[in-house]
């Protein structure tokens, strides 16, 4: 049989623990959300901006190689070396684009930004003319090739600046937002913990008072009976082991009174 007192204590302990753990979890979740949004900025958004700029640089390096080929093409050695460079930077450039395209599935980007990016990155990726410009150079000469290269770059450059600045802007806003939110949730967690501390302390106080009241009541009655005061009846309303004790105690008091009366009668 589970003792009633044990049940009472068990329920009060679980109440206290539930209040504490609940408030801590609420605070924890709110801080976790802040961390998540900071991670979006730190990881996805800024990486996309970095990859875009790298793409731009790699494209410039690749085009630089092409120009070197045009400028120093008489030298077989340079031609070969710059051709290698051309392929290397072309690969790097596509890698940067793919990095961004792959990261677009992340929750860090809103739909409008996603559309803007897809428009830009696919255009750079699919309509890149560098390979064909190489043949143009061979067939039509350097002037035409460089002109085409320039046009190709100008076409996407404006969009690129827009994309990068949008990303920078977005991440700056979200960082600021997350920082304020972070401060708030620190307070929320602290407030909730202190609040839970008080509520559970109050709860504990009530339970403790309730239990120790019965104990000290019976204790006081026992002292009274011991000192000869037998007239006071013992009563405990609480439904617990104390109730049984009180009944037994009351029975004992009655038999004590009976014994005393008997003794008094005989004395007389």
Partner 1 sequence: MKITVSKKLTISFFSIIILLFIASIVSMGQMVNSSKILNRIIEQKTITLLILDIRTNLTDKREALMNIILLGQNDNLFEKYLNTFNKQSTIIENKISNLKSTIKTTSFYKDVIEECNNFSDYYDAEDELMKKTLNTYRAKGKKAASALIKDQLNESGKHLDNAINILKMKSVEDLIKSEKKSSRTFIILLFFFIISIIAAVVISSLVSNRMVSNIVYLTNAANDISLGSMDIPIEARSHDELGKLAEVFESMRREIKGAMHKLRRR
Shortest approach of partner 1 to residue 4 CB, angstroms?
Answer: 8
> Smallest gap, in angstroms, from Cβ of residue 105 to partner 1?
18
Of 139 and 228, nearer to partner 1 (C-beta) is 228
Pick between residue 56 and residue 90 the one whose CB is nearest to partner 1.
Answer: 56
Of 178, 133, 150, 154, nearest to 33 (Cα)?
178
Q: Provide, rounded to whole angstroms, the least separation between the CB of residue 186 and partner 1.
A: 7
**Cβ count near 73 (within 10 Å):** 14
CA distance 221 to 229: 9
Nearer to partner 1, 111 or 142 (CB): 142
- Give the nearer residue to partner 1 in terms of CB position, either 41 or 111: 41
Question: What tokens does 196 get?
Answer: 């839970």
Q: What's the per-residue H, E or C state across the chain?
A: CCCHHHHHHHHHHHHHHHHHHHHHHHHHHHHHHHHHHHHHHHHHHHHHHHHHHHHHHHHHHHHHHHHHHHHHCCCHHHHHHHHHHHHHHHHHHHHHHHHHHHHCCCCCCCHHHHHHHHHHHHHHHHCCCHHHHHHHHHHHCHHHHHHHHHHHHHHHHHHHHHHHHHHHHHHHHHHHHHHHHHHHHHHHHHHHHHHHHHHHHHHHHHHHHHHHHHHHHHHHHHHHHHCCCCCCCCCCCCCCHHHHHHHHHHHHHHHHHHHHHHHHHHHC
Kindly state the smallest distance separating residue 68's Cβ from partner 1, in Å: 8
Q: Which is nearer to partner 1, 131 or 219 (by Cβ)?
A: 219
CB of 182 to partner 1, least distance (A): 5
For the bound state, the minimum distance from the C-beta of residue 120 to partner 1, rounded and expressed in Å, comes to 16
The distance of closest approach from Cβ of residue 172 to partner 1 in the complex, given in angstroms and rounded to an integer, is 9
Question: CB-wise, 158 or 263, nearer to partner 1?
Answer: 263
- Residue nearer to partner 1 on the CB measure, 131 or 223: 223
């Amino acid at each position: 049989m589970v003792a009633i007192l044990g049940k009472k204590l068990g329920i009060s302990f679980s109440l206290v623990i539930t209040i504490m753990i609940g408030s801590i979890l609420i605070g924890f979740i709110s801080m976790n959300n802040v961390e998540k949004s900071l991670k979006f900025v730190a990881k996805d958004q800024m990486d996309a901006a970095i990859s875009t700029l790298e793409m731009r640089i790699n494209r410039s390096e690749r085009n630089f190689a092409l120009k070197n080929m045009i400028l120093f093409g008489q030298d077989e050695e340079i031609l070969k070396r710059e051709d290698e460079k051309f392929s290397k930077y072309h690969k790097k450039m596509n890698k940067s684009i793919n990095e961004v395209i792959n990261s677009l599935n992340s929750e860090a980007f809103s739909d409008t930004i996603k559309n803007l990016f897809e428009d830009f990155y696919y255009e750079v990726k699919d309509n890149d003319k560098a390979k064909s410009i190489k043949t143009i150079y061979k067939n039509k000469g350097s002037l035409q090739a460089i002109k085409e290269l320039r046009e190709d770059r100008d076409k996407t450059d404006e969009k690129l600046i827009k994309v990068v600045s949008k990303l920078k802007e977005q991440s700056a806003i979200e960082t600021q937002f997350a920082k304020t939110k972070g401060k708030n949730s620190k307070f929320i967690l602290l407030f909730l913990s202190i609040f839970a501390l008080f509520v559970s302390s109050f709860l504990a106080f009530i339970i403790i008072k309730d239990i120790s009241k019965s104990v000290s009541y019976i204790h006081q009655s026992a002292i009274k009976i011991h000192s000869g005061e037998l007239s006071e009846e013992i009563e405990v309303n609480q439904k617990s082991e104390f109730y049984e004790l009180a009944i037994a105690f009351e029975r004992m008091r009655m038999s004590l009174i009976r014994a005393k009366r008997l003794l008094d009668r005989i004395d007389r």
